[in-house]
């Protein structure tokens, strides 16, 4: 199958989630992977060659730096038909969640989201493993027909280089009908200068046990020492101690970092639903019976206010 991967760049660097999707792409087609990149003019695409990418369709239109789902779905559908691609892979983000179904409907492709593994890439028997029941189970799902659209769950594969190839870059100018601009952006409020929670390799998260927003410096210090993002439990964002976009769990963000540190979080099942695909979970809680210890790999039974400064100091010593 000919495979197309949607790649996003940030600050001139390809996002790790895009490299993960490229590695999945190599499992579908032994041949190199073509990529559509929404990236500013002058972006260096050569490093993608190391991962087996030989062709880049570059959308240079600045309107695509932060596209809405509808124009992006149209652009990717046009790229797929221009290249004859029949497997389109997108790293799972809030943008691609909204884009993938529209793209699939345009292409008449079967669609699967939250894909963790490709079980069988044989056309006609194309089967993926998905995370379902909010992380409590997995489903092997067979996709009918000749075309597939997949969103790839973050941190599901170790990024590895492939057969290196030279990258040919072609500017790609999709033609977007006016009706695709029905959703008009008014403004954006984005946290800047921080590690973003959905992308983070390490997350330090605080719960009601932190007692109040004035104590978040302790969470932030450990996060800064680790280069981590900060998160929180739902009551913490409900009480406005922290912004909503930091709320982790079933009704918030689902994270899959290498390391999740839960501080003063009891481990309610709805919170665990957002963290259960983390590689390693650490719990710090003064109650030895707290349910978080049932899902944690490492734990400290103790007072967060005493433990956190020690951990931060130890991380600094390590560095």
Ligand X SMILES: Cc1cc2nc3c(=O)[nH]c(=O)nc-3n(C[C@H](O)[C@H](O)[C@H](O)COP(=O)(O)OP(=O)(O)OC[C@H]3O[C@@H](n4cnc5c(N)ncnc54)[C@H](O)[C@@H]3O)c2cc1C
**Closest to 53 in 3D by CA, of 36, 75, 41, 68:** 36
The neighbour count for residue 217, using CB atoms within 10 Å, is 11
- Check: CB of residue 98 under 8 Å from CB of residue 6: no
Q: Is 180 helix (H, G, I), strand (E, B) or coil?
A: helix
Of 57 and 200, the one with the shorter C-beta distance to other proteins is 200
- 224's contact among ligand X, other proteins, none, with CB below 5 to 8 A by partner kind, is none
Q: What is the CB-side half-sphere exposure of residue 204 using CA atoms within 13 A?
A: 22
Of 161 and 297, the one with the shorter C-beta distance to other proteins is 297
Of 2 and 245, the one with the shorter C-beta distance to other proteins is 245
Give the distance from CA 140 to its chain's centroid.
21
Beta bridge partners of 225: none
At 221, phi and psi to the nearest 5? -60, -45
The reply on whether position 305 binds ligand X by CB under 6 A is yes
Identify residues 51-110 at the interface with ligand X (CB under 6 A): none
- 271's contact among ligand X, other proteins, none, with CB below 5 to 8 A by partner kind, is ligand X
**Closest to 222 in 3D by CA, of 186, 180, 264:** 264
- 162's contact among other proteins, ligand X, none, with CB below 5 to 8 A by partner kind, is none
- 233's contact among ligand X, other proteins, none, with CB below 5 to 8 A by partner kind, is ligand X
Of 27 and 194, the one with the shorter C-beta distance to other proteins is 194
- Check: CB of residue 3 under 8 Å from CB of residue 28: yes
- 70's contact among ligand X, other proteins, none, with CB below 5 to 8 A by partner kind, is other proteins
- Check: CB of residue 86 under 8 Å from CB of residue 75: no
Least separation in angstroms between CB 274 and other proteins = 11
Of 285, 293, 311, 312, the one binding ligand X by CB under 6 A: 285
Element (H, E) at 237: helix 234-238
Of 65 and 287, the one with the shorter C-beta distance to ligand X is 287
Identify residues 198-257 at the interface with ligand X (CB under 6 A): 207-209, 233-236, 248-252
Least separation in angstroms between CB 208 and ligand X = 3
- 81's contact among other proteins, ligand X, none, with CB below 5 to 8 A by partner kind, is none
DSSP letters for 1-49: --EEEEEEEETTEE-HHHHHHHHHHHHH-SS-EEEEEE--TT---GGGG
Least separation in angstroms between CB 276 and other proteins = 7
| Alpha-carbon span 57 to 45, nearest angstrom | 10
Of 11 and 186, the one with the shorter C-beta distance to other proteins is 186
Summarize as ranges the residues that interact with ligand X (CB under 6 A). 207-209, 233-236, 248-252, 264-266, 268, 270-271, 274, 284-287, 290, 303-305
């Amino acid at each position: 199958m000919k495979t197309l991967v949607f790649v996003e760049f940030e600050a001139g660097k390809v996002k790790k989630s895009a490299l993960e999707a490229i590695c999945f792409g190599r499992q579908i087609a032994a041949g190199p992977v073509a990529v559509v990149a929404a990236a500013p003019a002058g972006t260096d695409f050569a490093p993608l060659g190391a991962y087996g990418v030989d062709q880049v369709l570059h959308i240079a239109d600045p309107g695509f730096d932060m596209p809405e789902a509808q124009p992006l779905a149209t652009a990717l559908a046009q790229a797929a038909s221009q290249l004859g691609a029949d497997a389109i892979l997108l790293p799972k983000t809030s943008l691609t969640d909204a884009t993938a179904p529209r793209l699939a409907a345009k292409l008449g492709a079967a669609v699967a989201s939250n894909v963790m593994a490709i079980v069988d890439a044989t056309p006609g028997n194309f089967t993926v493993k998905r995370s379902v029941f909010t992380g409590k189970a997995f489903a092997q799902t067979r996709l009918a027909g000749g075309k597939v659209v997949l969103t790839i769950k973050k941190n599901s594969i170790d990024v590895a280089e492939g057969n290196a190839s030279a990258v040919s870059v072609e500017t790609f100018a999709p033609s977007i009908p006016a009706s695709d601009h029905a959703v008009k952006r008014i403004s954006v409020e984005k946290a800047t200068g921080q590690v973003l929670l959905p992308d983070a390799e390490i997350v330090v998260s605080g719960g009601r046990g932190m007692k109040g927003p004035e104590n978040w410096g302790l969470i932030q210090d450990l996060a800064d020492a680790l280069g981590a993002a900060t998160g929180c439990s739902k009551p913490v964002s409900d009480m406005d101690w922290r912004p909503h976009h930091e709320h982790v769990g079933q009704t918030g963000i689902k994270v899959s970092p290498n390391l999740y540190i839960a501080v003063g979080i009891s481990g309610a099942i709805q919170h665990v639903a957002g963290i259960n695909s983390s590689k390693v979970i650490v719990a710090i809680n003064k109650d030895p019976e707290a349910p978080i210890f049932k899902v944690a790999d490492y734990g400290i039974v103790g007072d967060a206010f005493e433990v956190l400064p020690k951990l931060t100091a130890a991380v600094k010593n390590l560095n």
